[in-house]
Amino acid sequence: MARLDQVITNIVDIFMEYADDEGKKCQLSKAELKKLFETEIQSAELKDKISANDIEEAMELLDKNHDGQVNFREFSRCVCDLAKCYYHKKMGRGGKKGKCRGHEGEEEDCKS
Ligand SMILES: [Ca+2]
Ligand SMILES: [Ca+2]
């Protein structure tokens, strides 16, 4: 399978696998979300962005419609935000010094 195929199917499969664990089948509860982050995110850089210890905060950030659950739309947005954070980090490190200055703004990007 091509890499982007893998990424897309993985995002869907991971969501479905963990959301199916308890309660509503198409929603991630706080416990499911915690387990997902703990298991499926290993890179320190990304763990940094969403800490499983601070699941309350992560949940609040992700749960855009405030129903106490993370649906697929909310989850995919989170993955997308993580990708953007990683991208900015990579670009910042390798890129021009002046361009990295706005990294406080990057934080906002990740949380919005
Ligand atoms: Ca569930
Ligand atoms: Ca929600």
Q: What is the pLDDT of residues 21-73, one digit of tens each?
A: 999 999 999 999 999 999 999 988 888 777 767 889 889 989 999 999 999 99
Q: Which residues contact 23 (CB under 8 A, 6 or more apart)?
A: 29, 32, 69
d(CA 5, CA 53): 31
User: What is the number of domains present in the chain?
Assistant: 1
How far does residue 2's CA lie from ligand 1's centre (Å)?
Answer: 29
Residue scoring higher pLDDT (98 or 81): 81
Query: The domain spanning residue 47 has which CATH number?
Result: 1.10.238.10
C-alpha 5 to ligand 2 mean position (Å): 26
Question: How many Å lie between the centroid of ligand 1 and the Cα of residue 72?
Answer: 11
Which ligand is the nearest neighbour of the Cα of 73?
A: 2
CA of 73 to the centre of ligand 2 (A): 9
Mean pLDDT over all residues of the chain? 84
User: Residue 51's pLDDT is what?
Assistant: 72
pLDDT digits (tens, 9 = 90+) for 67-92: 999 999 999 999 999 999 889 989 98
pLDDT of the residue at 50? 75
Say how many residues make up the chain.
Answer: 112
Domain residues for 92? 3-109
